[in-house]
Structure 1
Amino acid sequence: MRTDKHSGSSAPSQRQLRVGELIRHALADILQRGEVHDPALEGYIITVPEVRMSPDLKIATVFVMPLGGVGGEDVVAAFARNRKFLRGDIARRVNLRYAPDLRFRLDRSFDEGGKIDALLRDPSVKRDLDPDD
């Protein structure tokens, strides 16, 4: 069931999701080909787990994570320095009326998942979850 923009729903539209995924794939391709020449990115394998688009598609928030989670802030800063180059390259790869402004953020979802796993392994929580007790 889809709600309109006046109902207060903040779920992204299908268009936002589709454009975000196109941009994510374009960035992954750019990274795989080694087209970003920044010494701060050398030696890192970087994943782009998600790109969230603003409702007007003018801002793309790109979540990045270096493999192993080490050096995340340096990686985000390197992407910010190369934002103009990346925006232009994405504009050539993704057919949009306007190339979105790119904003880079460190993806912390892996950290949150680890915290949840640790909580579920805690003996007192396990006791509450075990139906046999």
Structure 2
Amino acid sequence: MPRHHEKSTSPGGSQRQLRVGELVRHAIADILSQGGVHDPVLETHLITVPEVRMSPDLKLATVYVMPLGGRDTDIVLKALAANKPFIRTAVAHRVNLKFAPDLRFRIDERFAEAERIEKLLRTPAVQKDLEPDSDGN
């Protein structure tokens, strides 16, 4: 007998959380790219929305964003927070949910982490370890 109410062990949450997160991500990306938010900061910055994580009850959406080039992150976060009610309403009109999720905006740190790892891999010590042994082993 299948159990439908077990907690998900996947890192991103249940299939429903992932699906709704992706719908919210697309909605927010469309709203920002189409200039739907009339804010001078948001109108002058290209903002990527790589991920949205939903809470299990789908009432909270953590929206990970990154301005183009990683510049002005604090200014962009403040502008998004100031326009949160408008964005939340626009998302509610685009995504059919019982409740409009509360939005929490965070900077996506994965780009910086990937760059740090890339620099680490290029260091002489790591390059030396990656070279094949010259003694035939």
- Whether TM-score is above 0.5 comes out as yes
Q: Which residue pairs with 2:77 in the alignment?
A: 76
- Measure the CA separation in 2 of the matches of 1:43 and 1:80: 16
Determine the structure 2 residue equivalent to 1:108: 109
Where do 5+ consecutive residues of structure 1 fail to align?
Answer: none
Q: Deviations over 1:37-71 (max 9, x none)?
A: 11222321111010011111110000111101100
Q: Secondary structure at the match of 1:68?
A: helix
State the number of aligned residues.
128
Question: In structure 1, what is the Cα distance between the partners aligned to 2:73 and 2:66?
Answer: 6
1 CA distance for matches of 2:121 and 2:104?
34
Report deviation, 1:101. Answer: 0.3
Select the structure of larger CA radius of gyration: 2
Tell me the residue number matched to 1:25.
26
Q: Provide the aligned C-alpha RMSD in A.
A: 1.6
Structure 1: distance between partners of 2:127 and 2:56: 41
* Structure 1 residue ranges (4+ consecutive) displaced by more than 6 angstroms after TM superposition: none
**Normalization by structure 1: what TM-score?**
0.90
Specify the alignment match of 1:47 in structure 2: 48
Match of 1:96 in 2: 97
Task: Give the equivalent residue in structure 2 for 1:61.
Answer: 62
Report the secondary structure of 2:48's partner residue: strand
Q: What residue identity is the alignment partner of 2:51?
A: E
Q: Deviations over 1:3-59 (max 9, x none)?
A: x32x8x362111111000000100111112101111222321111010011111110
Gaps of 5+ in 2: 1-5
Question: For the residues of structure 1 that align with 2:43 and 2:90, how far apart are their CA atoms?
Answer: 20
TM-score by length of structure 2 reads: 0.88
